Amino acid sequence: MNNVAGKWKWMALLCVSGMFLLPLLLMLLASVKPAEQLTGDPYSLLPDRVLFQNYRDALESIPYVKYLANSIVLCVGSVAGTLISCSLVAYGFSRLKWRGRNLMFAIMIGTMLLPWHVTMIPRFVLFSELGLYNHLAAIILPTFLGDAFYIFLLRQFFLSIPEEISEAARLDGLSELGIYWRIILPLSKPALITVAMFQFVASWNDFSGPLLYLSDHEKFPLAYGLEQFVSSYADQTHLLMAASVMFTLPMIILFVVAQKSFTRGITMTGSK
């Protein structure tokens, strides 16, 4: 009886998995189909001929490598900024006692509830005045000023480290910066990895940042560069799909490799 129920459950899970994966599979298949098959026989499932040539054509028809380089600069810069600023601030909010701390922390949580619409336009004006328009720095620099969500996540983690460790280090004459760098950070690797990965994914996917701040093709990251490709190559589905696969694959690989860090972060905080 139990075994029968288990089989049904297993079948149901298999069916739903299929439904979720089918669109991805169709994308993958379309990326190796000949162009004439996609227009002439759009509902056919399997490619008439497997054309890996599509990938090379996609790489040549959009400046993929250039966009990829920009994406990497954006991701690495943003991850560095986030890790440095958020861990410092989280240390201040969790391992140190100072007057005004609770009030400041409450204000920080409050900023999370503010929709980005309210701050978007003045930020744009500010960054333009600072001469950052059309520079990747306009998107990277704010990450060096901390992000409430990541600060909150790291603070929760730092709070779980026993206070006695810090006390002992202080008695040994270690400065606060020393405790932060030599003790707290090494103990917090899992949380830091989670934050780094979230920010990496966010920067890789970011569309509105480049849309607002970048005007020069030379500086586009992949997410925004691909959009340009959509409008000019609307009838070249095979190339679009090949480019999309190349853009998506790093995220899928990252997730499969580091699934634990991801799911821990999502369930800990409620969102990505």
Partner 1 sequence: MAAEARGIQRWSGWLFVSPWLLGLALLFVYPFVASLIWSFSEYDLLTSPRYIGTDHYERIASEIVQGKGFGKALWNTFYYAAVSIPLSTIMAICLAVMLNWQVRGQAIFRTLFYLPSMVPMVATSILWLWLLDPRDGMVNGLLSFFYEAPPLWFQGIQEGVSTSSPFQFGSKDGLTLMSLWGVGNFMLIYLAALGDIDGSLYQAAELDGAGSFQKFRHITLPMLSPIIFFNLILGIIQSVQAFTQVYLVSEGTGQPAESSLLISLQLFLAAFRDLEMGYASAIAWVLFVFLALMTWGLFRSSRNWVHYRGVRI
Would you call 28 exposed, middle or buried from its count of C-beta atoms within 10 A (0-12, 13-18, 19+)?
A: middle
Tokens for 105?
């922390």
* Cβ proximity to partner 1, 69 vs 252, nearer residue: 252
Burial code of 38-75, b = ≥16 C-beta within 10 A, e = fewer? beeeeeeeebeeebeebbebbbeebbbebbbebbebbb
d(CA 4, CA 7): 5
* Shortest distance in whole angstroms from residue 52 CB to partner 1: 19
Q: Which of 49-57, 156-164, 181-189, 223-231 is the region at the interface with partner 1 (rule: CB under 8 A)?
A: 223-231
Q: Per CB under 8 A, which of residues 28..47 are in contact with partner 1?
A: 30, 38-39, 42-43
181 near partner 1 (CB under 8 A): no
Would you call 143 exposed, middle or buried from its count of C-beta atoms within 10 A (0-12, 13-18, 19+)?
A: buried
160 near partner 1 (CB under 8 A): no
Q: Per CB under 8 A, which of residues 44..83 are in contact with partner 1?
A: none
Residue 256 amino acid letter: V
Q: Per CB under 8 A, which of residues 231..270 are in contact with partner 1?
A: 231, 237, 240-241, 244, 247-248, 251-252, 254-256, 259, 263, 266-267, 270
Q: Per CB under 8 A, which of residues 188..207 are in contact with partner 1?
A: 201, 204-205, 207
Q: Per CB under 8 A, which of residues 90..149 are in contact with partner 1?
A: 91-93, 96-101, 104, 107-108, 111, 113-123, 125-126, 142, 144-146
10 near partner 1 (CB under 8 A): yes
Binding residue for partner 1 (CB under 8 A) from 48, 109, 227, 257? Answer: 227
E strand spans, the chain: none
